[in-house]
Structure 1
Amino acid sequence: MGCKISTEFCAEHPVTSPNKVHPSELATTSPPIKTVEFINPDLLVDDKPIFQKVSVITKEPKEKEKVVTRRVSLQAEPKKNLPLPLTRSSSLSSIMENRPPSGISNSSYTRLQRPKNSALRRFTIDTSRAKSNQFVVSLCSKKIGIIEYPEGRPDKQPCDVYWHNVVLSDMNKIVTSPHSKVNKFPGMTELAKKISLTHAISSMQKLFPDEYAFYPKSWFLPAHLNDFHAYFRKAQAMGKTEMWFIVKPDEGAQGTGIYLISNPSQIRDTEQQQLVQEYVANPMLMGDKLKFDFRVYGVIKSINPLSIYVAREGMARFCTEKYEKPDSSNFKNLYAHLTNYSLNKSNESYVHSNTLQDQTKGSKRLLSTVFHQLESRGVKTKRLWHDIKLILVKTTLAMLPEIMLHYEHHFHDSPGPQCFQIMGFDVMIKDDGTPILLEVNAAPSLTADHIVPYPGRSLTEGGQRVRSIVDEVIKMPLVRDTLLLVLGLMDEEYQTTNSLKGETKSLDDFQAMKQRRKPHLSEIFPTRYGAHSGHLLFLDKAMYIYMQFVQLRNNVNITGAGLKQFVRKCNLADIIPIVQVDAKVAEISYYFTGDRKTSANGLPFHAFLMFLFFIAEKKFSLETDLLSKVQRLLSFCDMSLRHYGVRSARLRRAEVDSNVGSVEIYMLPSRMARSRSTRYGRKENGMDPNNNSNSFSHLPRISERFQL
């Protein structure tokens, strides 16, 4: 390999493993290496620069341009800083320890010089509010080369990234720079709760029933109690005798408060806010007959432009007792019906995994492991993975209008940072291979350890915290690639060696392995499934109208007065007279809150949609489906508002580069103009027909523009 290794070192460290080859024994066809000397200003002896020997390889590329690869020997004296960063392996051992993978000698560990733009730019991260996430985030930041401030920056300057464990109400006071990134969207905790998620998906089910059939039929109590009774009686009349439902408290987490029922009369408290769903009684099982589900991780990179990613690796969670269809004798055995880790870990049958080999039969397994097991049983896993990714896209698009609303509300008086978020999607597979969405977790656990009981004791008597190999393999690359993604370093990390194709002869085994690495995250919208699901990006049009009549500085609900103004300005008084608006607001408010006294607080967005659906049904009754009726109503409202001189500055904008086929969809393009005018101290005057700035200097060259 061209490096000099002392005979004493070889004698003291003989190569005994057949899998480990000493660099001096490797044959190479590389050009001869010439040793040269240069002055390294970073190495000083008695305050004087010294000469350092390096090996330089030169070869003639196809373009007849001299290419120089610097190879620095790692036999440098201790405590001498080598100026070039180590390349990193994607293997777990390289993530957890500062050493090359097994089978590769330290002497062949190559240092590659990064491009100047990132070599000179040191990114910073504030983890002062990361709490339980801090260990994994700190470790990943260190490996990437990000400067961490666990107590916040002492000089009060903004960091590039802020990592919080929960959504903070004072985020706009903590993250003040529009160029910073923060790992939470305002309001996301509420939006991902069971009832809020159900409202969002239910609105889409009314418009796109076939596209959103992946979510179980649901009822929100107490408001929908009569509807639930009516559904049960109708099903009985049709001959259904075996029906099971699962009851989930809205505020519940980690499986607490969940129970099964077979009759509405078994609901314990009909006045409590809770969700009732049809129970998936026919889950897919494998040879061990244990029920399982998947935790699939998605990343919303941003909404300006909209970009959604999925992690290639996820988690499979197994019950700890064999599954049988629920009946009066076993429906209380939650160890057989619920897959929640927090519940099953206390069962003596829970199987912890100490190695990757153990996890093939453990209670917590890698998603890829279970996919291989399913494939061996004849399941078409490629199709299954395709359907799961579509669920992630469709669910995120259903939540998107309210994500936009809360962002505008929280940062109403500032440009706002770039928000991103790691999401956990819990998916169960039916016995026919159909994936079903169970729920969404806005703050999935990012810890990489777990508690195991002491020998001979149960977990309730205490235990010790140990390393979790499954969590490490999943969460370390997830957090690392998320940081690389939002900082714009993903291409540099995974394509640096691809740009050295003309120099592959000078790369050692480690570099050859790195060339085969793939990103842990892959974009699924708009690039992969934009054409398939782009038409579902629909309710933002209603959101733009909604925000015209909401006082975003103070609230995210539309008041009765705002709704009356909407009816008046959109010329809808012939459909619903102004005097009847208050009664309709009270009716819809109860349907969404279950409380007849809260109508004074106004209607949330999906309640406003219910109001729109009511008007659309009456005004455009000749249309065949609700989607067509709502489309015509939104167009009618848009024309009416233009007559009053009202134009939304937030209309969605698509930027298309026809040369490379990439599309960037800006959900709040006025934010781009605001950030730009703030940054340069001036405001752009050029506006497009939708009152949006025509010029975005920081975007790639656009050859075609159109308004969606």
Structure 2
Amino acid sequence: MMKESDPSWKPTFIVKPDGGCQGDGIYLVKDPSDVRLTGSLQNRPAVVQEYICKPLLVDKLKFDIRLYVLLKSLEPLEIYVAKDGLSRFCTEPYQEPTVKNLHQVFMHLTNYSLNIHSGNFIHSDNANTGSKRTFSSILCRLSSRGADVKKVWSDIISLVIKTIIALTPELKVYYQSDIPAGKPGPTCFQILGFDILLMKNLKPMLLEVNANPSMRIEHEQELSPGVFENVPSPVDEEVKVAVIRDTLRLVDPQKKKRKDIHYSNASQAPPLHSNKTTEAGLPSLCLKQVFPKYAKQFNYLRLVDKVAALFIRFLGVKGTTKLGPTGFRTFIRLVICPLYEWNEV
């Protein structure tokens, strides 16, 4: 249908088998009929996306960004974004996809787990060079060319908030079914790995969200044929240690308790230990709060989130009743949307 409306449209598609990871099984096709499935689509589902043919290049190489996002709590919704991330590079100079080069994974796929097996992969102790660099080093380079890096960050933050707002309604339904009602305080959190691609015009495009991103700070290095050793990765350590450290600082369940004890004992005796002393010895937070800080800009997107709250409240009357994602969408479509449309009229 798209080709009928625009004969000049000649897309490339990227196929990602469901349940895969680390780039395993990913391939490119020019024609949808070339999608390779073993068995029926129901038995072996795959995500098929239009391939972005004009990415931003650095040193003639394609790269993506792994950005770490902390979902601190669902109610109230709190989102933190790491101030730095990882830029993961392909290991062969990029060319737009053709039938002849579709199979060249080191040119098209940015997955670290694939490119590390390339003979061109460069391990570096410098954050500005090598096949894995800090995102901040890329932004410095763009800034030196006159790019508006503040807008790049603003667009990325907007992308992150919109994505999580889209996820929260179903997350809340599952959360409420597992966590006893009335339990005080946040009882869980999650670090998400956002994979983002910058286009030539510097517009960020979301590739995928990883629910269980790798936190390894070392890589395997072959010392001699068949002999491997784990070697520290300075770039990974710089970014990931800060994310884990600051996540623990933000979600520390004892922090509030210590404050409460401090205030209750204030009239009796000075505290034996001050948490501020410990905090003062740590670097400043690498995680930046983006929600509810920028909540006003995105409140118009939270209709479904409010519907989820209504649904959970009504569901509580029935006790153990559970509703899956499909049933939840049906609930919204049949019950809430007509009410919303009527209200708009």
TM-score (norm 1): 0.42
The counterpart of 2:143, out of the listed 369, 375, 381, is: 375
- The change in CA–CA distance for 1:521 and 1:464 in structure 2 (over 3 A counts) is same
2:48 alignment counterpart: 276
Task: Kindly indicate whether residue 286 of structure 2 is the aligned counterpart of residue 525 of structure 1.
Answer: no
1:553 alignment counterpart: 320
- The change in CA–CA distance for 1:607 and 1:296 in structure 2 (over 3 A counts) is farther
**CA offset digits 1:569-616 (Å, max 9, x no partner):** xxxxxxxxxxxxxxxxxxxxxxxxxxxxxxxxxx34235445568x74
Task: Kindly indicate whether residue 82 of structure 2 is the aligned counterpart of residue 311 of structure 1.
Answer: yes
SS at match of 2:128: helix
The counterpart of 2:328, out of the listed 593, 605, 609, is: 605
* 8 Å Cα contact 2:165-2:305 kept in structure 1: no
Distance in structure 2 (CA, Å) of the matches to 1:382 and 1:313: 13
Distance in structure 2 (CA, Å) of the matches to 1:258 and 1:479: 30
**CA offset digits 1:474-521 (Å, max 9, x no partner):** 11111111111112769x9xxxxxxxxxxxxxxxxxx9xx79953211
**CA offset digits 1:50-105 (Å, max 9, x no partner):** xxxxxxxxxxxxxxxxxxxxxxxxxxxxxxxxxxxxxxxxxxxxxxxxxxxxxxxx
The counterpart of 1:428, out of the listed 168, 193, 197, is: 197
2:261 alignment counterpart: none
AA matched with 1:315:
L
Correspondence 1:213-292 to 2 at 5 A: 233-269=1-37, 271=41, 272-286=44-58, 288-292=59-63
**CA offset digits 1:513-572 (Å, max 9, x no partner):** x79953211110111x112112212102322344435866353328xxxxxxxxxxxxxx
Compute the displacement of 1:377 (Å).
Answer: 2.7
SS at match of 1:436: strand
Distance in structure 2 (CA, Å) of the matches to 1:449 and 1:335: 21
Task: Kindly indicate whether residue 131 of structure 2 is the aligned counterpart of residue 363 of structure 1.
Answer: yes
* 8 Å Cα contact 1:408-1:552 kept in structure 2: no
Q: CA RMSD for the aligned pairs?
A: 2.8
1:640 alignment counterpart: none
Distance in structure 2 (CA, Å) of the matches to 1:320 and 1:361: 13
Distance in structure 2 (CA, Å) of the matches to 1:610 and 1:367: 41
Correspondence 1:389-400 to 2 at 5 A: 389-400=157-168
The counterpart of 1:331, out of the listed 102, 111, 129, is: 102
SS at match of 1:361: coil
Tell me: higher relative CO, structure 1 or 2? Use CA pairs within 8 A at least 6 residues apart: 2
Distance in structure 2 (CA, Å) of the matches to 1:479 and 1:250: 28
Distance in structure 1 (CA, Å) of the matches to 2:173 and 2:20: 25
In structure 2, stretches of 5+ residues that fail to align are: 259-276
Task: Kindly indicate whether residue 327 of structure 2 is the aligned counterpart of residue 632 of structure 1.
Answer: no
- The change in CA–CA distance for 1:323 and 1:412 in structure 2 (over 3 A counts) is same
The counterpart of 1:447, out of the listed 213, 216, 221, is: 216
Distance in structure 2 (CA, Å) of the matches to 1:452 and 1:552: 54
Distance in structure 2 (CA, Å) of the matches to 1:253 and 1:631: 40
SS at match of 1:299: strand
The counterpart of 2:187, out of the listed 387, 398, 418, is: 418
SS at match of 1:450: strand
- The change in CA–CA distance for 1:632 and 1:394 in structure 2 (over 3 A counts) is same
The counterpart of 1:534, out of the listed 299, 304, 307, is: 299
1:544 alignment counterpart: 309
Distance in structure 1 (CA, Å) of the matches to 2:179 and 2:143: 47
AA matched with 2:31:
N
Correspondence 1:25-40 to 2 at 5 A: none
Compute the displacement of 1:332 (Å).
Answer: 0.9
* 8 Å Cα contact 2:14-2:48 kept in structure 1: yes
* 8 Å Cα contact 1:412-1:552 kept in structure 2: no
Distance in structure 2 (CA, Å) of the matches to 1:471 and 1:335: 21
AA matched with 1:606:
R
1:482 alignment counterpart: 247
- The change in CA–CA distance for 1:413 and 1:375 in structure 2 (over 3 A counts) is closer
Correspondence 1:121-136 to 2 at 5 A: none
* 8 Å Cα contact 2:315-2:321 kept in structure 1: no
Compute the displacement of 1:261 (Å).
Answer: 1.2
Distance in structure 2 (CA, Å) of the matches to 1:322 and 1:634: 55
Distance in structure 1 (CA, Å) of the matches to 2:21 and 2:321: 30
- The change in CA–CA distance for 1:635 and 1:378 in structure 2 (over 3 A counts) is closer
2:262 alignment counterpart: none
TM-score (norm 2): 0.83
- The change in CA–CA distance for 1:349 and 1:409 in structure 2 (over 3 A counts) is same
SS at match of 2:49: strand
SS at match of 1:418: coil
**CA offset digits 1:95-151 (Å, max 9, x no partner):** xxxxxxxxxxxxxxxxxxxxxxxxxxxxxxxxxxxxxxxxxxxxxxxxxxxxxxxxx
- The change in CA–CA distance for 1:462 and 1:394 in structure 2 (over 3 A counts) is farther
AA matched with 1:323:
Y
* 8 Å Cα contact 1:409-1:552 kept in structure 2: no
AA matched with 1:520:
C
**CA offset digits 1:242-266 (Å, max 9, x no partner):** 2111111221111112111111211
Distance in structure 1 (CA, Å) of the matches to 2:206 and 2:335: 27
- The change in CA–CA distance for 1:634 and 1:258 in structure 2 (over 3 A counts) is farther
Structure with max Cα Rg: 1
Distance in structure 2 (CA, Å) of the matches to 1:604 and 1:362: 48
2:65 alignment counterpart: 294
* 8 Å Cα contact 1:542-1:634 kept in structure 2: no
Distance in structure 1 (CA, Å) of the matches to 2:67 and 2:4: 36
The percentage of aligned residue pairs carrying the same residue is 36
Distance in structure 2 (CA, Å) of the matches to 1:609 and 1:293: 35
